[in-house]
C-alpha cells in the first residue's frame, strides 16, 4: 500500500527576542524537511504576537507562526525533531493532521500558488463553494451560552427582598407590627423561601 | 439533587447544540470562541451548562486542551 501525503498544520511559538537570522535558519530547515518528503508548503506565515496565557521558560510573550503543508507522514516527524532541537528558541509547537478542505481554505488567502501536477487538481473549485470567511466572522453574535451558565440565580436572588424589609422595620419604632405587615406584603418572597426549605428537606 | 430537580421545574427551556445548528468550526486557534466555554476558574464548562451535544462537547474538550497547550488559554487562574 502506497503511503499517501497528508495535510498538516504546525503552530509554533518562538520567543519574542529571537533574531531574524535564527528564525530564518529554523524555517529553512522546516522547509527542507518538507521538500525532502515530496511535500509542498501551503501556507507559512506569522500568525500573531501575543501574551502567553502562562509563562513558558520565563517568557510572557511569544510570536506564533503557522505552517500548513502537504507531505508524507515522515515530514511531520522530521519537523517536530527540528523544532525540538531548538527548544530554547521554540517555546511550544504542535502539529495536527488536517483535512484537505481546511488546508485549502487557508490557501485561499494566498492565491499566488502555482498548482502542481500532483493529485491536487482542483483546489480552487473546492475552495469556492466554501463560505470560509463567514465561519470566522460568525462566532461573534452568539454569547448567549455564556450568558446563562447558571440557571439557578432567580431563586437565590429573590430572598434579597426579605432582608431589606427587615432592615426597614428595624428603623421604625414598632418593629413587630411593621414586620407582620411587610411579611404579608412580601408573600412572594416568603413563598420562595418556603419552597426553598421544602426543597432542602425533601 | 433536589436543586437540580427544582431547576428543571423552573427552567424548561431546552438548549440546542450551537455547533450543530450553526456552521462554526471548532478551531483551537479561535480563542474568542473557546473562552466562552470556560468558567471564571478556567475550567471547561460542563455539558449541562454549555448545552452542547455529546459529540461536540467531546470535540470542545479536546480543542480547549490543545489551546491550553499552546498557551492560548490558561490551565488555571493560579499561574
**ipTM for this prediction:** 0.75
| A79 Cβ contact list (under 8 Å, min separation 6) | A10, A30, A33, A34, A67, A95
Residue A141, pLDDT > 50, answer: no
pLDDT of residue A102: 78
Q: Residue B22: phi, psi to the nearest 5?
A: -105, 160
For the stretch A101-136, pLDDT in tens is 877 776 655 444 334 334 444 444 444 444 444 444
Cell of A54: 502562562
Give the residue ranges of DSSP H helices in A61-148. 73-85, 100-108, 123-127, 132-137, 144-147
pLDDT of residue A199: 44
Q: Of the ranges A85-94, A98-107, B57-66, which is most confident? A: B57-66
Percent of chain A with pLDDT over 90: 14
Contact A134 B23 (CB under 8 A): yes
Using pLDDT thresholds of 50, 70 and 90, give the confidence band for residue A145: very low
Pick the residue of A129, A147, A151 with the most B CBs within 10 A to test the interface with B by mutation: A151
From the list A64, A142, A154, which residue is nearest B18 (CB)?
A142
pTM reported for the whole predicted model: 0.59
Q: Quick check: A61 and A16 in contact, CB under 8 A?
A: yes
From the list A56, A138, A151, which residue is nearest B24 (CB)?
A138
Amino acid at each position: 500500500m502506497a503511503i499517501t501525503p497528508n495535510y498538516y498544520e504546525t503552530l509554533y511559538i518562538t520567543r519574542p527576542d529571537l533574531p531574524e537570522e535564527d528564525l530564518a535558519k529554523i524555517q529553512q530547515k522546516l522547509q527542507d524537511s518538507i521538500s525532502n518528503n515530496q511535500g509542498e508548503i501551503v501556507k507559512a506565515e506569522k500568525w500573531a504576537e501575543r501574551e502567553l496565557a502562562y509563562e513558558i521558560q520565563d517568557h510572557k510573550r511569544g510570536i506564533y507562526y503557522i505552517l500548513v503543508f502537504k507531505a508524507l507522514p515522515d515530514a511531520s516527524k522530521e519537523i517536530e525533531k527540528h523544532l525540538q532541537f531548538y527548544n530554547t528558541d521554540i517555546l511550544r509547537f504542535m502539529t495536527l493532521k488536517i483535512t484537505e478542505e481546511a488546508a485549502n481554505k487557508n490557501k485561499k488567502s494566498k492565491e499566488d500558488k502555482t498548482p502542481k501536477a500532483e493529485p491536487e487538481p482542483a483546489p480552487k473549485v473546492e475552495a469556492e463553494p466554501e463560505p470560509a470567511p463567514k465561519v470566522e466572522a460568525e462566532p461573534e453574535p452568539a454569547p448567549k451560552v455564556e450568558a446563562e451558565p447558571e440557571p439557578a440565580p432567580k431563586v437565590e436572588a429573590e430572598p434579597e427582598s426579605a432582608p431589606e424589609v427587615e432592615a426597614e422595620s428595624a428603623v421604625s419604632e414598632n418593629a413587630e407590627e411593621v414586620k407582620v405587615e411587610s411579611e404579608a406584603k412580601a408573600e412572594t418572597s416568603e413563598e420562595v423561601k418556603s419552597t426553598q426549605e421544602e426543597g432542602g428537606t425533601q | 439533587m433536589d436543586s437540580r430537580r427544582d431547576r428543571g421545574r423552573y427552567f424548561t427551556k431546552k438548549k440546542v447544540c450551537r455547533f450543530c445548528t450553526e456552521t462554526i468550526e471548532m478551531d483551537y486557534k479561535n480563542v474568542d470562541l473557546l473562552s466562552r466555554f470556560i468558567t471564571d476558574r478556567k475550567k471547561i464548562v460542563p455539558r449541562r451548562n454549555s448545552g452542547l451535544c455529546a459529540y461536540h462537547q467531546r470535540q470542545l474538550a479536546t480543542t480547549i486542551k490543545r489551546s491550553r497547550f499552546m498557551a492560548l488559554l490558561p490551565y488555571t487562574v493560579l499561574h
